[in-house]
Amino acid sequence: DDDDEEENKKKDESSSSGVAAAGGGGGRFLDPECIAMVCITHIPTNSGIVNPVNEIGRLIDQCNTKFEGGRSPPSHHHHHHRGGLPRILYVVDACQSAGQIRLDVRKMRCHVLAATGRKYLRGPRGTGFLYVERETANVLVPSHVDHSAAPLVAGVPRLSPIAPRSSSSSSA
Q: Where are the chain's structural domains? A: 27-140
pLDDT tens column, 67-99: 775 433 433 334 444 358 899 999 999 999 999
Report the C-alpha gap between 124 and 126 in whole angstroms: 6
Q: Any alpha helices (H) in the chain, and if so which ranges?
A: 2-17, 53-66, 105-108, 134-139
Please give the mean pLDDT across all residues of the chain.
75
The dihedral through the CA atoms of 94, 100, 106, 108 has a sign that is negative
Sheet holding 37-41, edge to edge: 37-41, 89-93, 112-116, 128-132
Q: Which residues contact 15 (CB under 8 A, 6 or more apart)?
A: 29
Q: Enter the CATH code of domain 27-140.
A: 3.40.640.10
Report the C-alpha gap between 48 and 149 in whole angstroms: 38
Task: Kindly report the pTM of this predicted structure.
Answer: 0.62
pLDDT tens column, 41-76: 999 988 879 999 999 999 999 999 887 754 334 333
3-state class percentages of the chain: helix first, strand second, coil last, to nearest 5: 35, 15, 50
pLDDT tens column, 113-172: 999 998 888 889 889 999 999 999 998 877 776 766 666 666 666 555 555 655 555 454
Secondary structure (3-state) at 128: strand
